[in-house]
Amino acid sequence: MTHSVTRATLEQEYDIVVIGGGTAGPMAAIKAKERNRDLRVLLIDKANVKRSGAISMGMDGLNNAIIPGHSTPEQYTKEITIANDGIVNQAAVYAYATHSFETIEQLDRWGVKFEKDETGDYAVKKVHHMGAYVLPMPEGHDIKKVLYRQLKRARVSITNRLVCTRLLKDEEGAVNGVMGFDCRTADFHVIKAKAVILACGAAGRLGLPSSGYLMGTYENPTNAGDGYAMAYHAGAELANLECFQINPLIKDYNGPACAYVTGPLGGYTANNKGERFIECDYWSGQMMWEFHQELESGNGPVFLKLDHLAEETIQNIEEILHSNERPSRGQFHANRGTDYRTQMVEMHISEIGFCSGHSASGVWVNERAETSVKGLYSAGDMAAVPHNYMLGAFTYGWFAGNNAADFVAGREFSAVDAAQVETEKQRVYAPLDREHGLPPAQVEYKLRRFVNDYLQPPKVTKKMQIGLQRFSDIQRDLDQIKAHNAHELMRAMEVSMIRDCAEMAARASLFRAESRWGLYHYRVDHPQRNDSDWFCHCHLKKDENGQMSSFKKAVEPYIIPLDAEEMQAYDRLRVGAFAA
């Protein structure tokens, strides 16, 4: 089969276009319609909104719920400030923290089931180093169904299987549309908009998983970094990209183990002796540093230890882990004869990626989900609000929807620049029009292998410089890619986005000449954290000459002050660090 390629050019217009129908996107579209039901709102997905994004198979819990009686927004803002080595815009984190309970109540009313205790109160667990923020959702597999019902109720228009590639900009520099193509027919779409919300998820296909299987990534591989590349080419600023996402995962399977589920039930990360070596399993750069150290030491590799738990507890863990988020975990363990009751589960380190949902690397946004480009909003894993996770995606999706609705009120459509459309159409169709050429999968494999070879921490200056040269060679290879059909065309265009992300990852990492965020940005030739020169955000953007440029931005004044003792809490994650 393959669908027949028609290559029509289709033009449409909507008040607001939301790109990405995973987590933040649906919430943004629904809230924009709730703000003003007369708005025409289009939600675009590269896959199908019913089963797209990071939570396509649901989620087993909230990692960062700030629930009255269990924690406070002030306490949470402190915790994330510390976990992120002080480099945060506290206003953005605090805005999330103060709204997160309202988001939970909204999801609860829509039918998402959270764990409650016998009194009907939310059953919050402690996983973080300092506060208690984890709220289990043992029946979280239905969350996409719940969202889809609400999208229909709110009368949001939906277009599936559309690969967005570039944003359009008008004379005043505001975003005024989106271009992309259908991954089955290769029809080219030009969609005029008064505002665009980018919710395209993480850049999850940056590094190559150690299995060598291209799509065996931690992130849903649909999330190739499209949002990062589109924002970059539209001139938006990206923040702290050198703070990579690296996660501790089940080796080879490359999915979470998952410590947030098992931790509160007594499971923990252990070395080959079955001993605990970190005090806290919450994912942070410092935690990953200790994980990496143990993995490479004589005590390695690292395991998830559950074999000391009671049968009933293990059954409960299996029930949750084998039906939510990555349900094929059960099959993976069964194939290898791994039983939680008798064996520890071997763990490894994920490939690198960008993801502000877990670390801090994203498109810069303020506490209103506005990017630095007029008319462009962003939310979810790709928007730079550190450690935002799923609940942060919903909350910033909400902000983006509300604020974009207000922005477009009374605003007219501006004229689309035909030259931008023509240039992009030529770029997109080139791999189809070429008679012969390189297969997209091979170019992608080589590119992502270079990403591992040259960018995977510990980072080495000279290696990253060589990497930049290799990525520029791949830019030339892009002009040699041949796509035989619309599906391959999608992969070909994704390679160009991954390449853009690889170059951004290298340049951002080279710019910050210090080490910070544990393993995420450990530079072997600048091993110390250097607050006097680098206590700042590092932003990256396409400058007036079309060059990738990096620059410093001061950290915004804290609204929740911290004392020096508190700031060091995450530096002492290794068991026994206090005694030492």
Task: Pick between residue 115 and residue 142 the one whose CB is nearest to another protein.
Answer: 142
Pick from 113, 374, 427, 487: which binds another protein (CB under 8 A)? 487
Pick from 109, 436, 462, 476: which binds another protein (CB under 8 A)? 436
Q: Candidates 90-98, 250-258, 287-295, 520-528 — which segment interacts with another protein by CB under 8 A?
A: 250-258
Pick from 328, 465, 469, 549: which binds another protein (CB under 8 A)? 328
Q: Which residues inside 138-167 make contact with another protein, applying CB under 8 A?
A: 160-161
Task: Pick between residue 220 and residue 403 the one whose CB is nearest to another protein.
Answer: 220
Using CB under 8 A as the binding rule, whether residue 301 contacts another protein is answered as no
Nearest to 195 by CA among 169, 213, 171: 169
Name the phi and psi angles at 540, rounded to 5.
-140, 140
Q: How far apart are CA 541 and CA 238, in angstroms?
A: 6
- Compute how many other C-beta atoms are within 10 angstroms of the C-beta atom of residue 38: 7
How many Cα atoms occupy the beta-carbon half-sphere of 224 within 13 Å?
A: 24
Nearest to 247 by CA among 215, 288, 201, 216: 288
CB 560 to another protein: min, Å: 38
Quote the tokens at residue 444: 């992608």
Using CB under 8 A as the binding rule, whether residue 217 contacts another protein is answered as yes
Using CB under 8 A as the binding rule, whether residue 215 contacts another protein is answered as yes
Pick from 326, 358, 448, 512: which binds another protein (CB under 8 A)? 326
Dmax of the chain from CA atoms? 69
Q: How far apart are CA 434 and CA 134, in angstroms?
A: 51
Using CB under 8 A as the binding rule, whether residue 100 contacts another protein is answered as no
Using CB under 8 A as the binding rule, whether residue 266 contacts another protein is answered as no
Name the phi and psi angles at 424, rounded to 5.
-70, -40
Pick from 327, 366, 560, 575: which binds another protein (CB under 8 A)? 327
- Tell me the site size for another protein, rule CB under 8 A: 41
Quote the tokens at residue 547: 């060059």
Using CB under 8 A as the binding rule, whether residue 337 contacts another protein is answered as no
CB 241 to another protein: min, Å: 24
CB 6 to another protein: min, Å: 17
Using CB under 8 A as the binding rule, whether residue 183 contacts another protein is answered as yes
CB 485 to another protein: min, Å: 10
- Compute how many other C-beta atoms are within 10 angstroms of the C-beta atom of residue 319: 12
Question: 180 with 44: CB under 8 angstroms?
Answer: yes
CA angle in degrees (0–180, nearest 5) for 487-488-494: 100
In 248-295, beta strands by DSSP E? 248-250, 268-270
Quote the tokens at residue 328: 């094929």
Question: 136 with 261: CB under 8 angstroms?
Answer: yes
Task: Pick between residue 138 and residue 327 the one whose CB is nearest to another protein.
Answer: 327
Q: Which helix (H) or strand (E) holds 175?
A: strand 175-182
Q: Candidates 46-54, 120-128, 303-311, 350-358 — which segment interacts with another protein by CB under 8 A?
A: 46-54
CB 490 to another protein: min, Å: 7
Using CB under 8 A as the binding rule, whether residue 476 contacts another protein is answered as no
Using CB under 8 A as the binding rule, whether residue 185 contacts another protein is answered as no
Pick from 86, 221, 266, 300: which binds another protein (CB under 8 A)? 221
Q: Candidates 273-281, 384-392, 484-492, 505-513 — which segment interacts with another protein by CB under 8 A?
A: 484-492
Name the phi and psi angles at 20, rounded to 5.
115, 115
Pick from 7, 50, 425, 427: which binds another protein (CB under 8 A)? 50
| DSSP code of residue 83 | H
Which residues, in sequence order, are bridge partners of residue 167? Answer: 178
Residue 488: partners with Cβ closer than 8 Å, 6 or more residues away: 431, 439, 440
Question: 79 with 129: CB under 8 angstroms?
Answer: yes
CB 49 to another protein: min, Å: 10
CB 488 to another protein: min, Å: 9
Using CB under 8 A as the binding rule, whether residue 67 contacts another protein is answered as no
Using CB under 8 A as the binding rule, whether residue 335 contacts another protein is answered as yes
Q: Candidates 48-56, 103-111, 529-537, 549-557 — which segment interacts with another protein by CB under 8 A?
A: 48-56
Name the phi and psi angles at 102, rounded to 5.
-65, -40
Nearest to 378 by CA among 170, 233, 230: 230
CB 549 to another protein: min, Å: 34
| DSSP code of residue 134 | B
Residues that bind another protein (CB under 8 A): 1-3, 47-48, 50-53, 56-57, 160-161, 183-184, 211-217, 220-222, 252-254, 326-328, 331-332, 335-336, 436-437, 439, 487, 490-491
